[in-house]
Amino acid sequence: MGTSRVRRARPEDVRGLGELSDRVFRSMLKPGTGMPVEFPRLFHPDNAANLYFVADSAGNPVSLVGTYPSQLVSNGARLTALSIGSVATLPDYRGRGYATEMLETIMEERSPHHSIMLVSGGRGLYARLGCVEFGTLRRAWWVPTSWSDPGVTCRASSRLREDAPILHRLYRTEAYRVVRTPIEMESYLNATTAPRFRARPAPVRVLIAEREGTAVAYAVAAPGREGTRIDLLEWAGDRAGLLSLAQYAFRQMQGERVEWRFQSDDWTLGSLLDAHHIASEPCLNQGTIAVLNPERLLMEVNPLIKEQTGQHLTWEQGYRVAWASTPRGPAPELPAELDRGALARWLFTTDGFNLPLVDTGGLSYV
Ligand SMILES: CC(C)(COP(=O)(O)OP(=O)(O)OC[C@H]1O[C@@H](n2cnc3c(N)ncnc32)[C@H](O)[C@@H]1OP(=O)(O)O)[C@@H](O)C(=O)NCCC(=O)NCCS
């Protein structure tokens, strides 16, 4: 092997990389008008160094892997994550190992700084690098006929910039979320106005529930990719307010039913669903997860593990993990041999602790 072909972008490269991403993911649009509008933080000049690419001999980019650093809040714990997406190679350049080489470079270069990597897809390309499907959320679906909460009024936001700080305040009360700055919140909301946001057939709406003039909940409602289902892609705030928003979305957007995902330990919402006979079932989180730095990851999840088991995990080197002492509370058996994929499975799937993480299908970049 010669020297690496993988480069990290400079601010002046960002526009060309956004166009490359559109050529692959939004080929029906003029290059530069789709993905960079949908993912304004990813394709922001400030994020240039987090965009990895390979160029042809003339210096034009032909392959891209986008990354974005984020902190996940999970029931009080904080996990340092690196999100991966916009993985794209122009058709003529596929099968030369570019995407694999970039991902390997990223995993090596970034592992000191991030405990986990969240990837937008689940292809063989990712599985070979130790990415696994993960999580259990719940998916609710509802044909709202009977719900009414006379104290709540719903509206669609027509001024996202003005509403952003109010929605940010609601988002920040959630137990599972991504740490977002006010600028990130505003950008993510604005991104929903992109022409083909998340490849949805019709525009997405940001809906707000108010009680006595004060916002108590919001939901980002999107027409489903197929049929006339309405998906609430992201929501936060008062759980009864959420049901009002689901009903409002159902009526205004003329869906056949409305669906949303929620955390399995959201007992407030769970009991509301039971009371109103709203169905739900377990579902996987979106995309896949890999461990980047096992030592750092254990430091970050040990508070949650200790709360459940009375014990913490120790790290030696590589993937050598052990209990500090015998756990007293429920703990899945620790396999004798762990590797990158097995540790992710043990921590983040129902084969092990199944530590809950934020819904990666929300507005934050993955
Ligand atoms: C996925 C993609 C980024 C891979 O890029 P690449 O630079 O060709 O990747 P590599 O050469 O490292 O090879 C890895 C993948 O390419 C496949 N491949 C190999 N030769 C190929 C060829 N001639 N043409 C197309 N794909 C080929 C491999 O089977 C492997 O795919 P897998 O994930 O199904 O196992 C590229 O095919 C692409 O842009 N696809 C469309 C966008 C997309 O689906 N992105 C992923 C979103 S999650």
Calpha distance 194→48 (Å, rounded): 21
Nearest CA among 36, 49, 132, 133 for reference residue 86: 36
For the Cβ of 247 lying below 6 angstroms from any atom of ligand 1, the answer is no
Query: By alpha-carbon position, which residue is closest to atom 41 of ligand 1?
Result: 88
- Report phi then psi at 94, rounded to 5: -75, 160
Please report, as a single letter, which amino acid is at residue 285.
N
Domains: count for the chain: 2
Last residue of some domain: 283, 307, 332? Answer: 283
Nearest atom, ligand 1, residue 126 CA: 33
The count of C-alpha atoms lying within 13 angstroms of the C-alpha of 13, restricted to the half-sphere facing its C-beta, is 22
Residue 312 is which amino acid?
Answer: H
**Helix H segments across the chain?**
14-25, 35-38, 98-110, 124-127, 160-171, 182-191, 239-252, 267-275, 294-309, 340-348
Nearest alpha-carbon partner for 234 in 262, 273, 197? 262
Yes or no: say if 192 and 38 are a contact pair by the CB < 8 Å rule: no
Instruction: Supply the pLDDT for residue 1.
Output: 47
Per the domain annotation, does 314 fall within a domain? no
What pLDDT does residue 2 have?
Answer: 52
Residues of the chain with pLDDT under 50: 1
Q: Is residue 121 within 6 Å of ligand 1 at its C-beta? A: yes
CA distance 118 to 109: 16
| Nearest residue to 215 (alpha-carbon basis) of 268, 261, 171 | 171
Which pLDDT tens digit goes with each residue over 30-53?
999 999 999 999 999 999 999 999
Amino acid 220 reads: V
The whole domain housing 54 covers: 7-133
Asked if residue 185 and residue 116 are part of one domain, the reply reads: no
Residues 252, 197 within the same domain: yes
Query: Is 359 a domain residue?
Result: no
Q: Whose C-alpha lies nearest to ligand 1, atom 23? A: 95
Whole-prediction pTM? 0.95
Give the residue whose CA is nearest to atom 42 of ligand 1.
Answer: 88
> Which CATH number fits the domain that encloses residue 85?
3.40.630.30
3-class secondary structure, 240: helix
d(CA 57, CA 64): 16
Question: What Cα–Cα distance (Å) separates residue 24 from each residue in 18, 27, 29, 340?
Answer: 10, 6, 10, 30
Q: Would you state the pLDDT for residue 253?
A: 92
Nearest residue to 358 (alpha-carbon basis) of 287, 270, 274, 309 = 287
Output phi, psi for 262, to 5 deg.
-150, 165
The predicted pLDDT at position 225 comes to 78
Q: Which long-range contacts (CB under 8 A, 24 or more apart) does 125-131 make?
A: 125/87, 125/99, 125/100, 126/288, 126/290, 127/288, 128/100, 129/100, 129/103, 129/104, 129/290, 130/290, 130/291, 130/339, 130/340, 130/341, 130/344, 131/288, 131/289, 131/290, 131/341, 131/344
Verify whether ligand 1 is closer than 6 Å to residue 94 (CB atom). Answer: yes
Q: How far apart are CA 306 and CA 323, in angstroms?
A: 10
Find the 98 Cα to ligand 1 centroid distance in Å: 9
Residue from 6, 52, 94, 133 whose mutation best tests the ligand 1 pocket (most atoms within 8 A of CB): 94
318 inside domain = no
* Beta carbon of 97 within 6 Å of any ligand 1 atom: yes
Q: Is residue 22 part of a domain?
A: yes
Whole-number Å distance between alpha carbons of 161 and 319: 46
Q: Are residues 104 and 211 in the same domain?
A: no
Q: Are residue 148 and residue 112 in the same domain, yes or no?
A: no
**127 in ligand 1 pocket by Cβ < 6 Å?**
no
Closest-CA residue, ligand 1 atom 28, reads 95
Whether residues 142 and 123 fall in one domain:
no
Domain boundary among 252, 283, 314: 283
Q: Is residue 96 located within the same domain as residue 170?
A: no
Could you tell me if residue 353 is inside a domain?
Answer: no
Among 133, 155, 175, the domain-final residue is 133
Residue 365 lies in a domain: no
**Domain co-membership, 141 together with 262:** yes
162 and 127, same domain (yes or no): no
Residue 92 Cα, ligand 1 centroid: separation in angstroms?
11
One domain, residues 125 and 26: yes
Evaluate: CB of 116 within 6 angstroms of ligand 1. no
Tell me: do 197 and 255 sit in the same domain: yes
352 occurs within a structural domain = no
Residue 177 sits in the same domain as residue 270: yes
Q: SS3 for 156?
A: strand
Instruction: Show Cβ contacts of residue 319 under 8 Å, excluding neighbours closer than 6 positions.
Output: 294, 338, 339, 340, 342, 343
* Within-domain flag for 21: yes
Q: How far is the CA of 57 from the centre of ligand 1 (A)?
A: 21
Return the DSSP state at 141: E
Q: Residues 160, 222: one domain? A: yes
